Chain A
């Protein structure tokens, strides 16, 4: 019980004992709730990856590797690869947009900076379906983008923008861009501007100063932002459905259909396991990089 807070020097057994009860009373209900409504459910559904589906849905508790064989069969391997590519493209695009924006926000004077941050966050707090729906309105054949291009005479017939892979990527970037900008901003604003100045004063070009000083020091923020965009993009089934028109099936769509339509829970759970494995792997990489950076080891 050394970790109890009792910095007062007078030893008081009664208080120590009562604080043990207090500790239990404070910790047990909350941690119990997390166990009951997160840990147990997630472990339960992940245990299904080793079992078979019942004839009428449900789960038959007989061991099998079949779900993995099916998950990596050519059909579903293509879905997995496609999902990784689409989520990866969204992440890269979000980083390319997000980095200069986060940098610009970090350079703003205090008052404007707060306003810019609030402006970046507001769309994130608006309903996800509404935000995705907005892109249907923009990208459809009679939508604003096609209309404007027709008016300025760039095109004569409307371009097919909606229900394309590009639309899915744009929808994902739009959905998760704030999650990229915020960690980048946190990382960039901590940067000491004198470091960069020192580099340029010592003769480095601005590009070299960025590549050798700014970029490595903001790498933890870059990785956090990438995880925050990549992970929810990979599991998303709304954007592919609404902006991809069902033509581009991502892992999330398959998991949804296996659980709610095909009722093959073990197979759905196996694909969801892929999501978790990716998540854990990315967090592992991220923590390694930040640790290496904070201990000043080789980079």
Chain B
């Protein structure tokens, strides 16, 4: 260890700050009693209750549907756009434009889409949320895939074209295998972001089809219960898995490059 010295302290405190609230939630979720604050023996009762909460499961289903649709749109449009930006133009303005939805404050995008949907008289529901999530998902896919394409050697694609392969064949046999890890990373990113996204969904959803974050929001507003703690623990577990899986994935692709 180089001269970390007293810097160890802020690092340790920061980790405590980041993980103490999470740890408290996880511990409290195994509470045998009904309080969200005092432990009264260990049990899995809140997880059983959670598994029987039909509304929440419906909301989870809605969220999965939205996230899947948004990811499909984002991956198809984002990948083609990234190839176009990296190989067919050198316009930094277009780059910025394509990635703008990722920087746009969610509240501004949310009210914009609400106004837009209302202007074109689109029924608000899961479909309108999906279209909205796809636009910022696409920006992330573009960012990740474009970065990968810039690293990759364009000579491979040129060689393929020179040897008589058409645009589609070249894309399928040469470009796609190169960018595949980035496409998967972008898809994972979009899926997770969509699953967690609250603000835009809150504005562009109809009243009858809540997504999971919207259901969590209405639960959290009405106070603290061990059931929410259990739900939080499940969600934490999912995020941990996804982050670690994607970290592994990116490390493996880096290893392949060497």
Point out residues on A near B: beta carbons under 8 Å: 3-5, 7-8, 15, 18-19, 22-23, 25-27, 29-31, 33-34, 37-46, 48, 58, 97, 100-101, 103-105, 107-109, 114, 116, 118-123, 125-138, 140, 142-144, 147, 174, 177, 181, 231-232, 235, 237-238, 241-242, 252, 255-256, 259-260, 265, 268-269, 272, 275-276, 279
Chain B nearest CB from A84 CB (Å) reads: 15
Contact B88 A107 (CB under 8 A): no
Complex Cα distance, B244 from A122, in Å, reads: 9
Contact A126 B235 (CB under 8 A): yes
Contact A275 B105 (CB under 8 A): yes
Contact B108 A97 (CB under 8 A): no
Contact of A174 among B21, B158, B220 (CB under 8 A): B21
Given contacts A37-B132, A135-B21, A27 and B111 within 8 Å (CB-CB): no
Complex Cα distance, B22 from A119, in Å, reads: 12
Contact of A118 among B83, B108, B114, B243 (CB under 8 A): B243
Looking at chain B's contact residues, the main secondary structure is helix
Contact A8 B162 (CB under 8 A): yes
Contact of B112 among A4, A38, A119 (CB under 8 A): A38
**Which of chain A's residues have a CB closer than 8 A to the CB of B2?**
107, 109
User: Any chain A CB within 8 A of the CB of B100?
Assistant: yes
Work out how many contacts link A and B, with CB atoms closer than 8 A.
256
Given contacts A103-B7, A107-B7, A142-B37, A235 and B107 within 8 Å (CB-CB): yes
**Which of chain A's residues have a CB closer than 8 A to the CB of B142?**
30
Q: Which 8 A-B pairs have the closest CB atoms?
A: A30-B81, A26-B84, A41-B112, A134-B21, A41-B116, A104-B7, A100-B10, A23-B88
Chain A nearest CB from B106 CB (Å) reads: 7
Segment of B12-20, B40-48, B53-61, B178-186 in the binding face:
B12-20
Chain B nearest CB from A150 CB (Å) reads: 13
Contact A255 B107 (CB under 8 A): yes
User: Any chain A CB within 8 A of the CB of B151?
Assistant: no
Complex Cα distance, B7 from A7, in Å, reads: 51
**Which of chain B's residues have a CB closer than 8 A to the CB of A231?**
105
Highest count of chain B CB atoms <10 Å: which of A3, A27, A127, A143? A127
Contact B19 A123 (CB under 8 A): yes
Complex Cα distance, B22 from A260, in Å, reads: 31
Contact B213 A144 (CB under 8 A): no
Contact B107 A275 (CB under 8 A): yes
Given contacts A29-B81, A107-B3, A44 and B88 within 8 Å (CB-CB): no
Contact B10 A123 (CB under 8 A): no
Contact of A259 among B13, B111, B220 (CB under 8 A): B111
Contact A38 B101 (CB under 8 A): yes
User: Any chain A CB within 8 A of the CB of B187?
Assistant: no
Using CB atoms, name the residue of chain B closest to A269. B111
Contact A5 B87 (CB under 8 A): yes
Contact B232 A138 (CB under 8 A): no
User: Any chain A CB within 8 A of the CB of B229?
Assistant: yes
- 26 A-B residue contacts at CB 8 Å? A7-B154, A7-B155, A7-B158, A30-B78, A31-B81, A33-B73, A34-B135, A37-B135, A40-B116, A100-B11, A101-B11, A104-B4, A114-B247, A119-B18, A127-B213, A131-B21, A137-B25, A137-B37, A138-B21, A177-B17, A235-B105, A259-B111, A269-B111, A269-B115, A272-B108, A272-B111
